Amino acid sequence: MSPEEMLKSFPDQLQWEKTDIDRSLYRTITFCGMGGSGIVGDIAKSWLEHRGCNVVAMSHRGYGLPNYVKGEEHLVICTSYSGNTEETISNFEAAMERDATVICISSGGKLEELAKKSGVLHLKVPSGFAPRYALGYMLSKILTLLGVEKDELEDAKENLKTSYDEIKKKGEEIASKLYGYIPIIYATPLTEACAFRWKTQINENSKTQAYFATLPEMHHNEVVGLDNAEIRSKCAFVVMFDPKDHERVRRRVDITIRLLKDLGIVPVVIGGDGNSYLARLLYLIHVGDWASYYLAGKYGFEPLPVKVIDWIKEELSKG
Ligand code: F6R
């Protein structure tokens, strides 16, 4: 399948399934995963927090597990598209040692084998995609586990489908603005997961460095870096927000845009379009996905291969 076909399939990857997980049994939920599989946890965490869930949710990237995970009242969700990422296998092993409740998501690989051997719930997603292009499959498994309503997921999917041309067009326009510059994305608490996805999609698809910072923290450091005209002239700026961000954060978004404009910078200002937070998150993510795809084309890169990631994994497999 071509990267374009994989991208196009994103709305249809969103599939609701009935699950019978009782979330009230858990004190904490720890989402484990790396790269294209790790972002799923960030999105799920933002969505859970926005809907007012009072279970502590954490996104964990790296080996082992945080110390608080001890016992079955801690739910650990290990997501690895390939099922072979060593950090995620390490999370699984640590969770089993600590008697946590574990759920695994993968298209196969070692994680599926280990889950089955240990009698742990394993949710399988279709194979044949690059991990980052299978976001919809992995995310819908997790959101369904966390109790997303069928209507909410269906509405977000429909929103992506009806806005398809608009999303693609925005992606293409944004790629033209980012071309030749280092993309710097300024986000808000409700759009931080999107900014991270934009950064990593620009890294992996467009083979380009990109960075992000989040309000309000960036008003205490990052903004001072803008004083350096020589460096800022090498960057292209994106400011993203959600209409439901804290009112003081929205005020800070306006101040950030004014600050950039006063410096002669015209940032790309973008919010997601949709009826629910989930719909807006997915809209914004999809604009970034297309932007990174078009940006790859402008630089003459194939979006799919990630040779250096493959090489590092190969080196690590030697021991
Ligand atoms: C490759 C990609 C990577 C992988 C990451 C972890 O498309 O997006 O960021 O997601 O190397 O691998 P998996 O997802 O197989 O656990």
- Mean pLDDT value across residues 222-248: 98
State the distance from the centre of ligand 1 to the C-alpha of 172, rounded, in angstroms: 25
Q: What is residue 23's predicted lDDT score, i.e. its pLDDT?
A: 83
pLDDT tens profile 146-199 = 999 999 999 999 999 999 999 999 999 999 999 999 999 999 999 999 999 999
pLDDT tens profile 220-232 = 999 999 999 999 9
- Tell the burial category of 173 from Cβ atoms under 10 Å away from its Cβ (0-12, 13-18, 19+): middle
State the distance from the centre of ligand 1 to the C-alpha of 309, rounded, in angstroms: 8
Per annotation, catalytic residue among 220, 230, 307, 315: 220
Residues with CB under 6 A from ligand 1: 34-37, 80-82, 85, 88, 130-132, 204, 306, 309
> Does pLDDT of 110 surpass 90?
yes
Q: What is residue 24's predicted lDDT score, i.e. its pLDDT?
A: 85
CA-wise closest residue to 194 among 131, 77, 130, 286: 286
Atom of ligand 1 nearest to the CA of 79: 16
- Mean pLDDT value across residues 1-27: 92
21 band by pLDDT with thresholds 50, 70 and 90: confident
Per annotation, catalytic residue among 87, 112, 152, 204: 204
> Does pLDDT of 97 surpass 80?
yes
State the distance from the centre of ligand 1 to the C-alpha of 316, rounded, in angstroms: 15
Give dist(CA 139, CA 2) in Å, integer: 21
> Does pLDDT of 20 surpass 80?
no
18 band by pLDDT with thresholds 50, 70 and 90: confident
Q: Residue 239: which residues within 8 A CB-CB, separation 6 or more?
A: 186, 253, 256, 257, 260, 267, 268, 269, 270
288 band by pLDDT with thresholds 50, 70 and 90: very high
Answer whether 210's CB lies under 8 Å from 183's CB. yes
Answer whether 42's CB lies under 8 Å from 69's CB. no
Q: What is residue 36's predicted lDDT score, i.e. its pLDDT?
A: 98
Per the annotation, the verdict on 220 as an active-site residue is yes
Per the annotation, the verdict on 313 as an active-site residue is yes
State the distance from the centre of ligand 1 to the C-alpha of 33, rounded, in angstroms: 9
- Mean pLDDT value across residues 69-84: 98
Q: Report the Cα–Cα distance between both ends of the chain, in Å, rounded.
A: 33
Give dist(CA 38, CA 33) in Å, integer: 4
State the distance from the centre of ligand 1 to the C-alpha of 127, rounded, in angstroms: 13
* pTM for the full predicted model: 0.98
% of the chain beyond a pLDDT of 70: 100
Residue 120 one-letter amino acid: V
Atom of ligand 1 nearest to the CA of 304: 7
The full length of the chain comes to 319
pLDDT tens profile 178-190 = 999 999 999 999 9
Mutate to test the pocket of ligand 1, among 39, 132, 203, 206 (most ligand atoms within 8 A of CB): 132
